[in-house]
Structure 1
Amino acid sequence: MTSTTTSPTPTGELGHRRLGVPAITLMIIAASAPLTVVAGGVTTSFAVTGVIGVPLGFIVLAAALAVFAVGYAAMSRFVTNAGAFYAYIAQGIGRPFGIGASLVALVAYNAMQVGIYGLFGFQVSMFLEAKFGISSPWWLWIILCIVVVGLLGVNRVDLSAKVLGTLVALEFVAVLVFDLVAFSVAPEGVSSAGLNPSDLFVPGIGAVLAFGIAAFMGFESAAIYGEESKDPKRTVARATYAAVAIIGVFYAFSAWAFTIGIGPSQIVEQSAASGPDLMFVFMNEHAPVIISDIMQLLFLTSLFAALQSFHNAVARYLFSLGREGVLHRSLGSVRAVSRAPWAGSVAQSAIALVVTAGFAIAGEGMGLKADFAPVEFLYPVLTMFTWLTNTGAMGLVLLMGFIAIAVIGFFRRDRRGLSAWSTLIAPAISAVVLFAVFVLIVLNFDLLLGQAETTATTFVLPAILIVPGIIGVVWGLVLRRRNPELYSRVGHGIEEAEAAVVEVEPQRRGI
């Protein structure tokens, strides 16, 4: 590597004014992986909870998150920072809590991203085995995917946006085709089953909401792209509202279609029997085989889109923390040409490689040889995917609860001309709802992990989130005493970070 010192103004800045509302909205939706949620999340929720009110659950969650978005969008007009959660909490609650939140966010986003790699590797390996008779280890495809995701991550963000936009559009088409087929089949007729309050407000509602909230994870990431948006004061808010509305309506409608297509009396039983394959089994029976094959390919691209979206989020968090000196300043480096946070991107790829290697070695140590025993074949799904994505969802829900409180703190002395609804009432309501959902996740964590009883992972996984947060708060208090100048810039990014940063440019083209 070579090091060059540049002027404070351009150094450590991301590419400005490259993303509009449609681009950011598509990257948000990509993170939620629509086809993956409908094929996997919806069936899992039906199977595990035994509740047919899953479609209505998506509407309830969308309404709750729309209320959260009111305060979140209001604050986005005044705080523009690639480390969104970190900056919001630092400015709304306090800098030590902001640093603690930054570490929780890093763990949560990494957990979501790396966990999805587990499902991706498993699905690619299964697809090749089923279609071409090619037996291959799941971790091989993860490594190859990490390389591709990393290459996109160090290039212009609008390139990622175009790739993700194309993949998301194809996902929507695939799910809509399934929805149409489901309504045309309707073995028990078209009814409001799944949308009736009596279908949702039953003893299993807590588990439904705990499962459902994971489907929305990524919707909050609009603010991460604030520095790269064409008009941060409007783009972030509009993209957030659009994403919540589209995701909520689309998932509710598709889950309802699932209920109608399989039959309300059979949806729970069939979901438990077939899991994520239920969609493809259904399409094989009621549509040309080629359509099912295409949908399975799009299922893989859906996972890839989610991987890219979460990778971008982690890279920008690392960039923000490096730029402000909370983590090593080299993480604040961007490429001169693409203005992409290349150091953060490379760091995230390295984390994914290390964690994947850990799970692969652990699987081999358990005698889990590739492509044989069913338990072994499901290993990356039952452990890497299930453990990490649920842990990540838990962390992001917790952070959103604190964000709601941060909004109230930020506008406490000066509402800046905004209404009490935006600055106090909506954030207060969303804080109560989000912390309630967090409690539901904690209470149902064994269920989310697919465990019959409490094990060590029930406590270890939440600790992986909470302990770094506590360490971050302590580190913030230490910085306040040891380095007041650096401490004063925490959470303020381009607003106050005037110190020059060394920009490190990789020697090799394309890194």
Structure 2
Amino acid sequence: MPTGSSGRTRSAATAHRTGRPDRPQGAISTFKGQERALRAGRIGTPGLLLSVLAASAPLMAVAGVMVTTYQVMGIVGQPLLFVILGVVMALFGVGYAEMSRHVHNAGAFYAYIARGLGGTVGSGAACVALTAYSALQVGIYGIFGFEVAGLIGRYLSVTVAWWIPASAGVAVIGALGALKIDLNAKVLGVLLVIEVALIAVFDVAFAAAPGPQGLSLRAFDPAALGGAGLGTALCFAVAAFVGFEQAPVYAEETSRPQTVVARVMFLAVGFVAVFFAVSSWLIGVATGPGNVVAAAGKEGPGLIFSLTGPRLGAAFTDALHLFFVTGIFASMLSFHNVVARYAFAMGREGLLPAALGRTAKAGGAPVTGSLLQTVVSAVVVLGFALGDHSTAGDPATPVLALFTWGGNVGALGVILLMATASVAVIAFFVRRGAGRVQAVRLLASGLAALALLAVLAYAVKDFDVLVAAERGSALRWLLPSLIGVAALAGLVHGRVLRVRRPAVHAGIGLGNEAFQLEKAAGDGHGTPPPAPHHAAPEKRRPCP
């Protein structure tokens, strides 16, 4: 065998064993052509951080998630809850970030799970990820349409159905999703900075003009976590963190994935934990800790606006309403980009039709995956619109059904993926003989898995509360079963691939690295391909 060919084969095999391709730092390459690869170097630390934080929609989290948690769960200690969950997410991030140094794949969750637990489980995770993030993204169109229709009615005195602005949103998001990620990052960045600035302004106003109990720290007393709704409140609060885990999805498009992705994840977790803990505390300060549950019950999501009006004036409150909507838009765009990249990764690896695994020649965006999510969104919005027989201004269908159902189904799937990924991180390093070297990170992953499984159990148990359904409603089991069905379908699909298309099964989670292995195996010199990465592990040197 010629030396050059041998060198390439050894190089590909080394990349296969260590989980890292043999390429210059940060480069993502493919021998099948650039239409099968996302463009490297498109996004740096600031752009990636803004993109993932935009998914959490800070203003929507403050006005919606926090107020609803006070209203429905009656948990005065919500700020402490954000601190505790921040620790859990940081523990999860320790192993997840380390994994991001070894695996660069737009299908982050399922790629990590496949590399640790095998291709069949990875296939199941891929279907769950696509379902969960799609449900999150589509669900947001409900509250977006409702809020925009409300603004049009208030300021233009024109009555429109919620699905009209929602459909317009589908079209605009679809167009942006097909463009370069760096352009998307700029749009998300501007909207996010405005949101955060507005929240900071009213936080200061709440602290400067507190309620009857002053700057009380009662919310940080562990006793304030008491109450029957604690488990469900945990689920609500976890939903506010969803977004930071998306950073590895963009690994192929960053300039230095080995460092940028991990840095962004920890920055995002720290920001969300601190910023949301402070904001939820100051909501209680503005009303008084003893009054916050009653005030949230009376005002609902309008509580923030009723608190800012007397302190900052009508003009600020009007601006808050406007940027509440733009923040929702930013969140939709962020989740749309993630779904498009999961579809791209699955198409590239044969889990979905190959057409989805191609990118636009001009900008390198996963345009087919973006189009798929646009079509899905349009169909779902249209379906809910056809089934909506309420009058304009009634939130029953757009908010209490589409938004609430989609959001909670998606959050349930993400929690399941995070718990499974934590287990996969342990398996990945132990199977490669790196258990001792990575002992601290594996311990963190184990603790995170236990905590996330506990939250998952609470979420399934109290799902009727999460979606505001009656105790005996079929929604209690029907909606969570969507995630179960997705997982089962993915596992069956993975099993079929293992039997009928073993080469495709062996490449699940490898992404562009699979292309390099194929090239090494197809040099024309009879070189056999390396053993599939899901086979029984051989003795390996520890990962650095």
Match among 305, 308, 321 for residue 346 of structure 2: 321
CA RMSD, Structure 1 to Structure 2 (Å): 1.5
Q: Deviations over 1:74-100 (max 9, x none)?
A: 111100000001101111001011011
Tell me, yes or no, if structure 1 residue 25 matches structure 2 residue 25: no
Deviation at 1:150, TM superposition (A): 1.1
3-state SS, counterpart of residue 336 of structure 1: coil
Which residue matches 2:177?
A: 153
Match among 385, 390, 393 for residue 403 of structure 2: 385
Which residue matches 1:503?
A: none
> 1:419–1:134: structure 2 CA closer, same or farther, 3 Å change rule?
farther
Tell me, yes or no, if structure 1 residue 420 matches structure 2 residue 445: no
Which residue matches 2:390?
A: 368
Which residue matches 1:121?
A: 145
Q: Deviations over 1:186-225 (max 9, x none)?
A: 1221110211111114443212211100001111000000
> 1:60–1:435: structure 2 CA closer, same or farther, 3 Å change rule?
same
TM-score, normalization by structure 1:
0.93
The code of the aligned residue for 2:272 comes to I
Q: Is the 8 A contact 1:53 1:200 kept in 2?
A: yes
The whole-number CA distance in structure 2 between the counterparts of 1:193 and 1:130 is 38
Q: Deviations over 1:227-283 (max 9, x none)?
A: 001111111110000000001100000000100011111110111111111111111
How many residues are paired up?
488
The whole-number CA distance in structure 2 between the counterparts of 1:377 and 1:397 is 27
The whole-number CA distance in structure 2 between the counterparts of 1:422 and 1:414 is 16
Which residue matches 1:209?
A: 234
3-state SS, counterpart of residue 347 of structure 1: helix
Match among 323, 329, 334 for residue 309 of structure 1: 334
Q: How does 1:225-374 map to 2 (within 5 A)?
A: 225-363=250-388, 367-371=389-393
Match among 496, 501, 507 for residue 483 of structure 1: 501
Which residue matches 1:63?
A: 87
> 1:330–1:432: structure 2 CA closer, same or farther, 3 Å change rule?
same
Deviation at 1:369, TM superposition (A): 3.4
The code of the aligned residue for 2:484 comes to I
Q: Is the 8 A contact 1:51 1:208 kept in 2?
A: yes
Tell me, yes or no, if structure 1 residue 181 matches structure 2 residue 205: yes
> 1:203–1:368: structure 2 CA closer, same or farther, 3 Å change rule?
closer
Gaps of 5+ in 2: 1-29, 520-544
Q: Is the 8 A contact 1:15 1:156 kept in 2?
A: no
Which residue matches 1:82?
A: 106
Greater mean deviation of Cα atoms: 149-158 or 420-429: 420-429
The whole-number CA distance in structure 2 between the counterparts of 1:243 and 1:425 is 22
Gaps of 5+ in 1: 1-5, 501-511
The whole-number CA distance in structure 2 between the counterparts of 1:154 and 1:418 is 44
Q: Is the 8 A contact 1:16 1:229 kept in 2?
A: yes
Q: Is the 8 A contact 1:324 1:497 kept in 2?
A: no
Deviation at 1:451, TM superposition (A): 2.1
The whole-number CA distance in structure 2 between the counterparts of 1:384 and 1:345 is 21
Q: Deviations over 1:433-454 (max 9, x none)?
A: 0000101111221111112313
The code of the aligned residue for 2:325 comes to L
Deviation at 1:7, TM superposition (A): 6.0
The whole-number CA distance in structure 2 between the counterparts of 1:147 and 1:164 is 17
Tell me, yes or no, if structure 1 residue 220 matches structure 2 residue 245: yes
The whole-number CA distance in structure 2 between the counterparts of 1:137 and 1:57 is 37
Deviation at 1:415, TM superposition (A): 5.3
Which residue matches 1:104?
A: 128
The whole-number CA distance in structure 2 between the counterparts of 1:253 and 1:438 is 26
The whole-number CA distance in structure 2 between the counterparts of 1:484 and 1:398 is 27
The whole-number CA distance in structure 1 between the counterparts of 2:436 and 2:281 is 38
The whole-number CA distance in structure 1 between the counterparts of 2:453 and 2:434 is 27
The whole-number CA distance in structure 2 between the counterparts of 1:383 and 1:417 is 46
3-state SS, counterpart of residue 299 of structure 2: helix
The whole-number CA distance in structure 2 between the counterparts of 1:454 and 1:380 is 23
Tell me, yes or no, if structure 1 residue 469 matches structure 2 residue 487: yes
Q: Is the 8 A contact 2:37 2:364 kept in 1?
A: yes
Q: Is the 8 A contact 2:69 2:233 kept in 1?
A: yes
Match among 452, 462, 486 for residue 434 of structure 1: 452
Greater mean deviation of Cα atoms: 480-489 or 28-37: 480-489
The whole-number CA distance in structure 2 between the counterparts of 1:193 and 1:257 is 11
Deviation at 1:40, TM superposition (A): 0.8
The code of the aligned residue for 1:384 comes to L
Deviation at 1:46, TM superposition (A): 0.2
Match among 124, 127, 139 for residue 163 of structure 2: 139
3-state SS, counterpart of residue 337 of structure 1: coil
Q: Is the 8 A contact 1:108 1:395 kept in 2?
A: yes
Q: Is the 8 A contact 1:415 1:423 kept in 2?
A: no
The whole-number CA distance in structure 2 between the counterparts of 1:253 and 1:421 is 33
3-state SS, counterpart of residue 497 of structure 1: helix
The code of the aligned residue for 1:26 comes to L
The code of the aligned residue for 1:315 comes to A
Q: Deviations over 1:457-502 (max 9, x none)?
A: 11111111111211111111111111112111111001113569xx
Percent identity, aligned pairs only?
40
Which residue matches 1:93?
A: 117
Please say which structure displays the higher CA radius of gyration: 2
The whole-number CA distance in structure 2 between the counterparts of 1:194 and 1:369 is 40
3-state SS, counterpart of residue 137 of structure 1: coil
The code of the aligned residue for 1:111 comes to A
Match among 209, 220, 224 for residue 195 of structure 1: 220
The code of the aligned residue for 2:495 comes to L
Q: Deviations over 1:3-43 (max 9, x none)?
A: xxx96142310111111122111111100000100011100
